[in-house]
Structure 1
Amino acid sequence: MAFAGKYEFEGDENYDAFVQKIGLPSEKIEMGRNCKIVTEVVQNGNDFTWTQHFPGGRTTTNTFTVGKEADMETFGGKKFQATVKLEDGKLVAEFPNYRHTAEISGGKLVEISTSSGVVYKRTSKKIA
């Protein structure tokens, strides 16, 4: 379960259908389309700092410990509390209206978010 590193957006699938399903406002939908997000993961055992750097200088950081409740923020900017779990080598979090998983597969960060049967997949390549 080694997630530590810096990852740059490589591609995604079903972005539009997913963000419409979770009710993201149209201006945020446009901002996020093909956005070259850089995800930086700092890991110390079960403690994580997960930061997403967006073009223009905006960042979102979630700090959590696997198995403990933590304050989190969605990519739409909503704050909530969740407990991140580890299931079959994947980090799993239940966001307010979607389920999010993250795993390292083939040296890439693969994130999958699911809401009411709509699946969004984002793949990022390791850059550091």
Structure 2
Amino acid sequence: MAFAGRWETETQEGYEAFCKLLGIPDDVIMKGRDYKLITEVTQDGDNFSWTQIYPTNARVTNKFTIGKECDMETIGGKQFKATVSLEGGKLSVTFPNYHHTSEICGGKLVEISKAGSVELKRTSKKI
């Protein structure tokens, strides 16, 4: 149950380069650069509900069970199928254009999204 809770972004590294690689428009990148993304996670055993709340209160919620294929959605609204794995306390899933991992380190939620050599690292505190 380590992931369960409400998290707020503290730091982001590689944000702009990662967003540009995904084709996000510059004006959207500028708006989101200093935004404190809120992540809400509920966990019941291997079952998760993972919601990210973006500027203008846009929300993306993905529900998944570890090791089982599920329907997921990107912030851009793209639907895809994926299987989330949990190894060594780290959640791992492949999105259409990048690979994403999440883990708890020192009481912080650390998320890394990687596309090729470009990496976005977001660290969030529990609120």
Q: Indicate if the aligned counterparts of 2:32 and 2:55 stay in contact, CA closer than 8 A.
A: no
Aligned residue in 2 for 1:55: 55
Two-structure CA RMSD over aligned residues (Å):
1.4
Between Structure 1 and Structure 2, how many residues are aligned? 127
Is residue 34 of structure 1 aligned with residue 34 of structure 2? yes
Is residue 109 of structure 1 aligned with residue 109 of structure 2? yes
Aligned residue in 1 for 2:126: 126
For 2:39, what is the secondary structure of its paired residue?
strand
Q: CA 1:51–1:91 in 2, change beyond 3 Å: closer, same or farther?
A: same
Q: CA offset at residue 17 of structure 1?
A: 0.6
Structure 1 counterpart of 2:115, which letter? S
Aligned residue in 1 for 2:85: 85
Q: CA offset at residue 89 of structure 1?
A: 1.0
Q: CA offset at residue 75 of structure 1?
A: 2.9
Aligned residue in 1 for 2:45: 45
Kindly provide the CA deviation profile for residues 76-122 of structure 1, in whole angstroms up to 9, marking residues without a partner as x. 33221110111221000000010000001111100000001111100
Aligned residue in 2 for 1:65: 65
Unaligned 5+ runs, structure 2:
none
**Partner Cα distance (1:81, 1:35) in 2:** 28
Q: CA offset at residue 31 of structure 1?
A: 3.2
Structure 2 counterpart of 1:38, which letter? I
Aligned residue in 1 for 2:15: 15
Q: Indicate if the aligned counterparts of 2:13 and 2:122 stay in contact, CA closer than 8 A.
A: yes
TM-score under structure 2 length normalisation: 0.92
**Partner Cα distance (1:40, 1:92) in 2:** 17
